[in-house]
Chain A
């Protein structure tokens, strides 16, 4: 997708040599439920402990490999 189509910025100054820019319109987007869960406290408290545990296991695995 060419930038010129989206160029709402200083159109007079913009060069004609602007390259291709990805506006990421076809990328995967989260649903409303996913967005809700990202800030839903009980779920996030659980995720907090879960991510921490994962990081500790990762550190533990490193130490095991380097013994």
Chain B
């Protein structure tokens, strides 16, 4: 086992069944959910039946305005909640029925940042991604250290290894957090609104990197976002949600129809097809002195 930090091979050596030749497959079929505050009272929020499938090396964008059910869908996919009806399966196994340890070896989720109360160094932080594989005290083996270094390197953060987390910039911190997810060697990488606090340059950089990771590490990447332009540019598939209902699933070109988008986002929009077959969305604001 090589302990060179940079090879992507290091990241692939592991026991994940996704890399044994069988393609990774995420199936969401007629999955629905309802939150209710207590037994007997009416559900306050529901996610209507949603279906889509994804394969390795694909990026899926779950798109919709606020309170459309995106996070709920993401939680269904990650297995933290079980669907009320239908199924959510990764490689044929229901995500919600996996035991926590196995689930953490297959699915990694990146959240919006929580404040770190006792911040470790970046290296120690990324090493935590190996905990799902550890024994009793989860003390890191040499292999674990190599994997963690590899994850950081793949994100261009190798130099951050010994820096304390609290001394990092926002962008650097995000890279470290993502590296921890990579260190889990998952098949499925989930991100909940990762672009929220980034400027446009950083947003694009992140999504490009995610595309690259999906390709190199053969992940399925599912990103929850409300950024129309980014989803259009980077996703292979888009799941469009509106007020708890799944309106459309398909490629960006299929999903981005003006009437649909205007209904969902309640804004005047223009959609045109770009050169690569990817739609471009522009805002259409009526001004008094404009001809349109």
Do the two chains bind?
Answer: no
Chain A residues close to B by CB (< 8 Å):
none
